[in-house]
Amino acid sequence: MAKITLDNLAHSYLSNPASEDDYALKELNHDWEDGAAYALLGASGCGKSTLLNIISGLLQPSQGRILFDGKDVTNAATAQRNIAQVFQFPVVYDTMTVRDNLAFPLRNRGRDEAYVSDRVQEIARMIGMEDMLNKKARGLTADAKQKISLGRGMVRKDVNALLFDEPLTVIDPHMKWELRTQLKKLHNEFGHTMIYVTHDQTEALTFADKVVVMYDGRVVQIGTPQELFETPEHTFVGYFIGSPGMNVIPARIEGTRAYLDGSYVELGRGYGALDGKVEIGVRPEFARLSQSEGLPVKIRRIEDVGRHKIIRADFFGHDINIIAGEDEQVSADMNRVSFDPERVNVYADDWRIKGEAA
């Protein structure tokens, strides 16, 4: 496995990019730790595939370098990078059996048949295809073919990295969960450096040690699922992760207070003068409804989603969502919302401001 270094990396599909807006991938410096499982998460068109294709060598970056364990591979072809890739749609050899498909990368590397046989058996067990090993791939469902692609991607232990581009798109929903769990198990067992592209937050948060969130060609945060939840570094991370996402409300900050439409909330930290668009962000999990404490709101709707209730409220034209326990009673006179001060984040032009301990 290898540490992957991105050094001043950027990419534009235009031959003469004039401004930052012309870059599908904006400048990025980052070390992907050896042996860690990363998810690359973001909405469609944010640049995930562009970044993955640069790492795999399918795309030559217009700026910067990429290094595997300190060795510059920017100009190396995919085949020279010693990586395994699994794409959105199955890539299998139809005329071969499931066994031969799984064995292919190992035989290609000249591994002896005893090893190939053991390893294929092990992988077949992980993807739940032990009893299909002698079947031809032709005629299998898309679902089964994609499992073969996943298995083939994982069969070699000696690759520098395993890259997955939305690999579970064609997989049946209940099997998705199972395969994700298997991938995680496999990662724990073999410690491959894994990069997994997805636009699905559940997939990213359950699979990865660290999630790389992209927005508009830029990496806006790299963090553990807990960090993304507690301290979104950019308002996009707040909106995109969580269900519902973080509440973001325009505010004026003075010291340890945020003033909002004639009311104020206490902040857990102190702040100096802030320029630009200033907002506070609070997750619905850290908002509380009561009769007497906090901002005046109008309740618009209460949704019972089983595990908890989502209360949709309005604060002078701004949406505020509150998550309340399943057993919590909500009455018509509960028209105030308060926040845990420690959980209120402050943003200037969408980026989180750290503040000083109060």
Ligand X SMILES: Nc1ncnc2c1ncn2[C@@H]1O[C@H](COP(=O)(O)OP(=O)(O)OP(=O)(O)O)[C@@H](O)[C@H]1O
Residues contributing to the site for ligand X (CB under 6 A): 13, 24, 42, 44-50, 199
- Least CB distance to ligand X at residue 44 (A): 3
User: Pick from 97, 10, 19: which is nearest to 47 by CA?
Assistant: 10
- Least CB distance to ligand X at residue 40 (A): 8
Q: Which is nearer to ligand X, 32 or 347 (CB)?
A: 32
Query: Which tokens go with 103?
Result: 């064995």
Q: Which is nearer to ligand X, 46 or 282 (CB)?
A: 46
Q: Which is nearer to ligand X, 149 or 345 (CB)?
A: 149
- Distance in angstroms (rounded) separating the CA atoms of residues 286 and 339: 6
- Least CB distance to ligand X at residue 312 (A): 29
Query: Which tokens go with 309?
Result: 């209730």
Q: Which is nearer to ligand X, 26 or 180 (CB)?
A: 26
Q: Which is nearer to ligand X, 147 or 199 (CB)?
A: 199
Strand pairing class (351-353; 345-348)? antiparallel
Query: Using CB atoms within 10 A of its CB, is residue 8 exposed (0-12), middle (13-18) or buried (19+)?
Result: exposed
- Least CB distance to ligand X at residue 47 (A): 4
Name the amino acid, one letter, at 188. N
Q: Match 């949406």 to its residue by tokens.
A: 319
User: Pick from 150, 162, 143, 207: which is nearest to 181 by CA?
Assistant: 207
Query: Using CB atoms within 10 A of its CB, is residue 244 exposed (0-12), middle (13-18) or buried (19+)?
Result: middle
- Least CB distance to ligand X at residue 88 (A): 8
- Least CB distance to ligand X at residue 257 (A): 39
Q: Which is nearer to ligand X, 50 or 247 (CB)?
A: 50
How many CB atoms within 10 Å of residue 322?
27
Q: Which is nearer to ligand X, 40 or 126 (CB)?
A: 40
CA torsion sign for 76, 167, 240, 357 is negative
- Distance in angstroms (rounded) separating the CA atoms of residues 89 and 149: 9
- Least CB distance to ligand X at residue 349 (A): 22
- Least CB distance to ligand X at residue 145 (A): 21
Q: Is 153:84 a contact under the CB 8 Å cutoff?
A: yes
Q: Which is nearer to ligand X, 46 or 120 (CB)?
A: 46
CA atoms within 13 A on the CB side of 314: 6
